[in-house]
Amino acid sequence: MIRTSHGMLEILQPGIGTTIQDRGRAGHRHEGIPFSGWLDAPLAEAANALVGNAGGEAVLELRGIGTELRVKSGPVRMALAGIIGAKWLTQDGTISSLPAWRSATLRTGDRLTLGVAETGCAYLAVANGLRLPTQLGSRSSYWRAGLVGLLGRAFRPGDLLPCNTWSSSDFYEWRNQEPWAHQVDPIRVILGPQRDHFLHESIVSFQNDEWEATVEQDRMGLRLHGTALIHINAASADIVSDAVTPGAIQVPANGQPIVLLADSQTVGGYPKIATVIQADLPKLAHLKPGSRLRFQSVTHVQAKQALQEQRAALMKWIAMRESFLPPGFIDEQALYGCNLVSGMLRAEI
């Protein structure tokens, strides 16, 4: 039984593809449990930072359109990260917008209608995170196994998301003038572990040709379309099932690559031509159908350096946040800092 003495969000409309995600379930793949978690970890952490969270808190991952929320018990501080906006309807009927990259504090009865995640993935964070029970150390949704999400299933109208109320008397909100964005580069990969199952010409083609993201994609994987990659023989199109991981690029007999994502299975029987490096996994979350991409092979040393650079860039972005007073509040500190008396030069009747 969920208590309403703390903050509470109500799902008015679940929308399409909206899930609860955090850092995921590390350490359970040997038990057949997928990692799950955020598709774009830096973007999710950017959302968390905008509401003052320490990092790792559960957020709403927004992959489609149509999600509508109501603050059942508030106030609740929240923020959007990504190319997305929302319509904010207060309990007194005032309509305003809630853009991304800044926090806002919604009161009991306020409604929020989320817009389109223009690049295919965005996040909504609330102060102190969504407070659903954990399973195997995570609050991440994984509907195929009935793990969390909300009773292990997709959202339905009337579902409740527990969180914490915003009890601080500090009316300042947080924002960042610069959106967080990934560099538009090729998707970097480490070749293998079954690169020997492919013709040399196909290894070259894999890195030099352009690939198109298809409509066959979800949190489990992404199918690509392009010039078919050729195995050295028919038998090489299958292997004895072995471990796979998010970022692994499998190539079945038809030669069209499948990139595994956060909810991927833990073993697979297709040969893997390469694996996307951790720093570039977030880019895969934004490959909407029709998007085009290229792959570039790098070394393990370069992959590690790329991840370190990404983490440093995110820390720099978080440090650039600034506080501000939303409309309707008076900046008393600035007001008291003004010397109003010395501004009067002379008074005559």
pLDDT tens digits for range 174-192: 999 999 998 878 999 999 9
Higher pLDDT, 151 or 101: 101
pLDDT tens digits for range 281-305: 999 999 999 999 999 999 999 999 9
Indicate if the pLDDT at residue 1 is higher than 90: no
Indicate if the pLDDT at residue 328 is higher than 70: no
pLDDT tens digits for range 25-65: 999 888 888 999 999 999 999 999 999 999 999 999 999 88
Question: First-to-last CA distance in the chain?
Answer: 71
Q: Does domain 187-298 have CATH number 1.10.1740.10?
A: no
pLDDT of residue 81: 98
Band (pLDDT 50/70/90 cuts) for residue 149 is confident
pLDDT tens digits for range 253-276: 999 999 999 999 999 999 999 999
pLDDT of residue 83: 96
Indicate if the pLDDT at residue 349 is higher than 50: no
pLDDT above 70 covers what percent of the chain?
91
Domain boundaries, given as residue ranges, for the chain: 7-180+319-324, 187-298
Mean pLDDT of 66-90: 96
pLDDT of residue 344: 45
Band (pLDDT 50/70/90 cuts) for residue 89 is very high
